[in-house]
Amino acid sequence: MASGEIVKKPDRKVKWMIFTHLFWVTTIVVLILWWGRLLSQQGEEIARLQLQLGENASQVQSRLDRTQMMIAGESGTFLFLIVLTNAILLVLFLRDKKRSKSIQAFFASLTHELRTPLTSIRLQAETLRDIEDDPKHQPFIHRLLQDVERLEGQVQRSLELARLEGGGILNLQPIPIKSFIQKQVIASFEGSEQRIVIKSNIEDAVVWADTSALTIIFRNMIDNAVKYSKDTPARVYLQGSLPSPQATHYELNLVHQNSHLEHVPADLGELFSRGSNSTGAGVGLYLIKTLVEKMRGNIEFYTDNGAFTHQIRLEVDREQ
Partner 1 sequence: MSNKVLLLEDEINVGSTVKDRLLLEGFGLDWAQSLAQAKEYLASSNYDLAILDVQLPDGSGFDMGRFIRDRHPTTAVIFLTAAGSPEDRIHGLELGAEDYITKPFHFKELLLRVKKVLERALYTREPRNAEVRIGKGLVRFHQYQIEVEGKTHTLTHKECALLKLLYERRGQVVSRDDILNIVWSENEYPTPRTIDNFVLRLRKLLEPSPDDPSLIRSVRGVGYTLETSL
Contact residues: partner 1, CB under 8 A: 1-4, 6, 108, 111-112, 115-120, 122-124, 126-127, 130, 148, 152, 163, 168-171, 173-176, 179-180, 183-184, 206, 210-212, 317, 319-320
Nearer to partner 1, 4 or 76 (CB): 4
Task: Identify which of residues 174 and 269 has a Cβ nearer to partner 1 in the complex.
Answer: 174
CB of 8 to partner 1, least distance (A): 11
Distance of alpha carbon 128 from the chain centroid: 39
309 vs 312: CA distance, rounded Å: 10
The smaller minimum CB distance to partner 1, of residues 174 and 284, is found at 174
Nearer to partner 1, 71 or 175 (CB): 175
Beta strands in the chain (DSSP E): 5-7, 170-176, 196-202, 206-209, 234-241, 249-256, 298-304, 307-315
CB of 213 to partner 1, least distance (A): 8
Residue 173 backbone dihedrals phi, psi, to 5 degrees: -145, 160
DSSP string, 291-309: HHHHTT-EEEEEEETTEEE
Q: How far is the CB of 272 from partner 1 (least distance, A)?
A: 24
Nearer to partner 1, 110 or 307 (CB): 110
| CA dihedral angle for residue 158, residue 103, residue 210, residue 153, rounded to 10 degrees | -20
- Least gap, CB of 228 to partner 1 (angstroms): 25
Cis link prior to 233 (omega < 30° from 0)? yes
What is the nearest approach in angstroms of partner 1 to the Cβ of residue 111? 6
d(CA 19, CA 25): 10
**Among residues 198 and 291, whose Cβ is nearest to partner 1?**
291
Q: Residue 296 CB, nearest distance to partner 1 (Å)?
A: 15
Q: Is-contact 252 205, C-beta < 8 A?
A: no
CB of 300 to partner 1, least distance (A): 26
Closest CA to 210 of 62, 6, 24, 37: 6
User: Residue 302's closest CA among 259, 264, 270?
Assistant: 264
Q: Smallest distance from the beta carbon of 139 to partner 1, in angstroms?
A: 19
Residue 6 forms beta bridges with which residues? 171
Q: Which helix (H) or strand (E) holds 5?
A: strand 5-7
Nearer to partner 1, 229 or 290 (CB): 290
Rg (CA), the chain: 32
Q: Which is nearer to partner 1, 152 or 231 (CB)?
A: 152
Q: Residue 98, CB half-sphere, CA atoms under 13 Å: how many? A: 6
CB atoms within 10 A of CB 160: 20
